[in-house]
Structure 1
Amino acid sequence: MMLAPTLACVATTGASAMGGPASRNDITDIQGLRVGRAESASVKTGVSVVLCDQPFTAAVDVRGGGACTRETDVMNPGGLVETVDAIVLSGGSVYGLAAADAVTAALGDSGRGYALFDMPGVPASPIVPAACLYDLANGGGKDWGRTPPYRDLGFAALEDAHRGGPVMIGAHGAGYGASAGTLPGAVGSASWRGEDGITVAALVAVNCFGSVTMPGQDDVYWAWPFEVGDEFGGRRPDVSQLADLEDWGAAKLNPGLRTQTTLAVVATDAALTRDETRRLTVMAQDGLARAIRPVHAPVDGDVVFGLASGAREIESPRPIALTRLGNLAADCLTRSIARAVHQARP
């Protein structure tokens, strides 16, 4: 069973006298990460690619019962390969996995990939994990027969990533045909640069069952305590309306199966082991719970990927430093979700 996800990505770099969003307030504030996107207006779907300029240490945390994924086993503890070359987030449920095939082929053609030995005539194997959200019932033309558009969209999104530039927030890429409860879904991103020069950032494609806004206050986001400035509207709640815990607000009230998932990628420029990267990824899942209610439901397919470039050493004691990074990753993911939906709304 393949469900529709919210996709996200978190990372760290930089330096500043006081903490605050880095220059772009998105995941491209992380040196070595680029993001590309491609969409099909007729199909109402799209693809996002997070491209690593060099291999990043990787991990994954899957909490959805119906996640649609590729190459997640390679990131489990004890696996042979500890790094990835790119991560693909796509619409299209199982059909969307073809986008990762395209990215793999293109990176392999350029000489990227893992090889146990350098052997003439034997190609390297690019490591490209992927996760897909379900947007098959959104009214777009899905009568593609044997030629779904996702391979072509994967090539186009990778080409867009090579061009660089800031993340396009709103109805773009993997979030193009998504829905967030009863509101439009979208792609969002946010970053935070700490006093110590480490930057954390997130990228997310939101396609959740739960509501991102408060009951009876559809212009107030659950993520409001984490807002920086007025990056998603600056509205604050009327606390007198928060008494009914059974009210889910703008959630999908009668969801069909295979219709929702939250996907995310979290990344850092810190020198983390694979186990430490996974702990960062696990902590970042809290960002979903802060911004979406309910979340991690049986009808969701939530996945969070984690990335670490290894460019910056973290302070000792390492567990405390990692705790701080994981918490910032969750905060950036929370903000990214609200920024995505806010930008996509009419």
Structure 2
Amino acid sequence: MAAPGRTNSLLDVDGIAVGQAHDATVRTGVTVILPETRAVCSADVRGGGPGTRETDALQPHTLVDAVDAVVLSGGSSWGLGAADAVAAALGARGRGFSMQNKPGVPVSPVVPSAILYDLTNGGAKDWGEAPPYARLGREALDACGEPLSLGRAGAGYGALAGSLPGGIGSASIVTADGYTVAAIVAVNSVGSVRIPGREAYWAHALEIGGEFGGYRPEGGAFDAEDWGDAKLNPNPGENTTVALVATDAVLTSADAKRLAIMAQTGLVRAIRPVHTPFDGDTVFAMSTGKKPLADPAPLTLTRLGSLAADCLARAIARGVHEAACSEV
């Protein structure tokens, strides 16, 4: 049977490191996903208010099909500055895309990013012309290789999942034939991750080993217009769930796009409502290319996409559960 990997996190995908940094005074943070070598990656954007960098370059019809890192950040548009700093640091290390290997011609690091809005969470945001995101991006990059913290960490440090504390979640699964699929997510949604009036998460049916508390729904039906712990007065651009799913399977750019599309279903399984005009929901999909797709390849990709959606749903519930535990 399939089962979670050793850490039940994105770190179970061979060839990926994660680094995180936060500023407790500002109540914000950054998460960097760093493949050991350039990795095939794509993205799917479903929210009505996204904030992204270089996601257009990841579409299957474009020239560049691999990335050097992916950055998830708080800070709304300010947070996109974290990816600039990560790209600068990786470029200084000689990592990046190159059309011509000539002396004096620098490589171009490909560092896509997606941000969430955490500007109204009470932190000190009076940074003037010196926002903290470049610093936090460098710190998160330097932290790659460390154990992964969940809950109030990284890009999810200042997040709110509906009216509950949001945070960083992660989950993994290893199939019987040896493929690893995993997800990492920063949950800052309009919608609620819990069933109205219950402690149980929408993703409860996918839970493995009590990883987000083991709560099960009790009672009868609920009002279809009851959104439970959702934000009651959402404003455009002030929310968003940003995530990355990854696998060690060999994928093309088109395969990675399909994986990202299928993984978006994990948000639907874990958050209600989701993909609203007020969210910027974005999911990246990455391949480290360690294990060829078994024939028939489309069926294997379908299996991986379904597992990616499950992992993302579990990661969302884990992130909010771990954030609640850290608030106690």
Q: TM-score range by the shorter chain?
A: over 0.9
Q: Which residue does the alignment assign to 1:69?
A: 52
User: Aligned equivalents of 2:63 and 2:180: distance in 1?
Assistant: 29
1:1-346 alignment, distance < 5 Å: 18-161=1-144, 164-217=145-198, 219-240=199-220, 242-345=221-324, 346=328
Residue type matched to 1:48 in 2?
Answer: T
- AA at the equivalent of 1:299: F
The CA deviation at 1:269 is 1.2
Q: Which amino acid aligns with 1:252?
A: K
Q: Distance in 1 between matches of 2:255 and 2:241?
A: 22
- Matched-pair contact (CA < 8 Å) for 1:21–1:190: yes
Kindly provide the CA deviation profile for residues 1-43 of structure 1, in whole angstroms up to 9, marking residues without a partner as x.
xxxxxxxxxxxxxxxxx31001010001111100000001110
Once the two structures are TM-superposed, the CA of residue 77 in structure 1 deviates from its matched residue by: 2.2
CA distance in 2, matches of 1:134, 1:113: 29
Q: Which whole-Å CA distance do the structure 2 matches of 1:155 and 1:220 have between them?
A: 37
Kindly provide the amino acid, as one letter, of the partner of residue 167 in structure 2.
A
1:239, distance to aligned residue in structure 2 (A): 4.2
Contact 1:291/1:338 (8 A) holds in 2: yes
Q: Tell me, in whole angstroms, the C-alpha distance in 1 between the residues paired with 2:166 and 2:102.
A: 46
Q: CA deviation at 1:246?
A: 1.2
Residues 82, 136 of structure 2: 8 Å contact kept: yes
Write out per-residue CA displacement over residues 146-187 of structure 1, whole angstroms, 9 at most, x where no aligned residue.
Answer: 0000000000000001xx133101100000000000000100
Identify unmatched segments of 5+ residues in structure 2.
none
Secondary structure of the equivalent of 1:54? coil
Q: How many pairs align?
A: 325
**1:287 positional shift:** 0.3
Q: How many angstroms apart in 1 are the aligned matches of 2:288 and 2:12?
A: 13
AA matched with 1:220: A
Q: Does the aligned pair in 1 maintain the 2:50–2:237 contact within 8 Å?
A: no
CA distance in 1, matches of 2:306, 2:148: 22
Which ranges of structure 1 fall in alignment gaps of 5 or more residues?
1-17
Q: Given that residues 37 and 46 in structure 1 are in contact (C-alpha distance below 8 angstroms), is that contact kept between their aligned partners in structure 2?
A: yes
Do the aligned residues in 2 keep the contact of 1:288 with 1:295 (CA within 8 Å)? yes
Native 8 Å contact 2:180 2:247 kept in 1: yes
- Counterpart-to-counterpart distance in 2, 1:330 and 1:252: 24
2:316 alignment partner AA? I
CA contact 2:46–2:275 (8 Å) conserved in 1: yes
TM-score normalised by L of structure 2: 0.98
Please give the secondary structure, in 2, of the residue aligned with 1:220.
Answer: coil
Residues of 2 paired with 1:116 and 1:74: CA distance?
A: 15
Counterpart residue type for residue 158 of structure 1? L
Distance of 1:165 and 1:154 partners within structure 2? 15
Moved over 4 A (4+): none
Question: Residues of 1 paired with 2:222 and 2:27: CA distance?
Answer: 38
Contact 1:26 1:166 in 2 (8 A): no
Partner of 2:139: helix, strand, or coil? helix
CA RMSD of aligned residues (A): 0.8
Deviations along 1:280-299, whole A, 9 cap, x unmatched?
Answer: 11000000000000000111
Partner of 1:15: none
State how far apart, in whole Å, the 1-side matches of 2:149 and 2:121 are. 21
Write the letter of the residue equivalent to 1:31: D
Q: Is the 8 A contact 2:162 2:193 kept in 1?
A: yes
Superposed displacement of residue 257, structure 1: 2.0
Instruction: Provide the rounded CA distance (Å) in 2 between the counterparts of 1:272 and 1:96.
Output: 29
